[in-house]
C-alpha cells in the first residue's frame, strides 16, 4: 500500500522521467531518429552520384545518336563499323586487344 502512495505523490516526477526517456529513445533510434537520418543521407548521396553518372552516359548516347541521325558523320560511322564488325581493307592487319 505504501508503494501506491509513493506513486501517487511522485506521479509528475515519474511522468517526466518516462517522457524524457521516450523522447531520448526516439531521438536516437526510431524511424525519424539520428541513425535513420544518417542512413538516408548516405543513400541520398549514393543516388546523387548515380544520377550524375547516368546523366553523363545519357549525354554521350545523345551525342552519338546525333552523329548518326541528323548529319551523318562519316568518320564516326567508319570507326563504328570497324570496331563493331571488325572490318578492314585487304592490306590492313587487325589485332584484337581485348
* 14-49 residue pLDDT tens: 888 899 999 888 888 878 888 889 999 999 999 999
Task: Identify the three-state secondary structure at position 48.
Answer: helix
Return the residue matching grid coordinates 586487344: 97
pLDDT at 53: 98
* 44-64 residue pLDDT tens: 999 999 999 999 999 999 988
Return the residue matching grid coordinates 548521396: 45
pLDDT at 52: 98
Phi-psi domain of 38 (left: phi exceeds 0; alpha: psi -120 through 50; beta: other): alpha
pLDDT at 39: 92
Q: 48 and 40 in contact (C-beta within 8 Å)? A: no
Q: Average pLDDT in the 62-77 region?
A: 84
Amino acid at each position: 500500500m505504501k508503494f501506491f502512495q509513493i506513486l501517487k505523490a511522485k506521479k509528475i516526477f515519474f511522468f517526466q522521467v518516462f517522457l524524457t526517456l521516450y523522447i531520448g529513445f526516439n531521438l536516437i533510434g526510431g524511424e525519424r531518429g539520428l541513425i535513420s537520418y544518417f542512413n538516408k543521407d548516405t543513400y541520398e548521396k549514393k543516388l546523387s552520384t548515380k544520377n550524375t553518372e547516368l546523366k553523363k552516359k545519357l549525354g554521350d548516347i545523345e551525342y552519338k545518336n546525333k552523329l548518326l541521325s541528323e548529319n551523318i558523320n562519316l568518320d564516326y560511322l567508319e570507326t563504328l563499323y570497324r570496331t563493331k564488325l571488325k572490318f578492314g581493307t585487304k592490306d590492313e592487319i587487325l589485332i584484337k586487344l581485348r
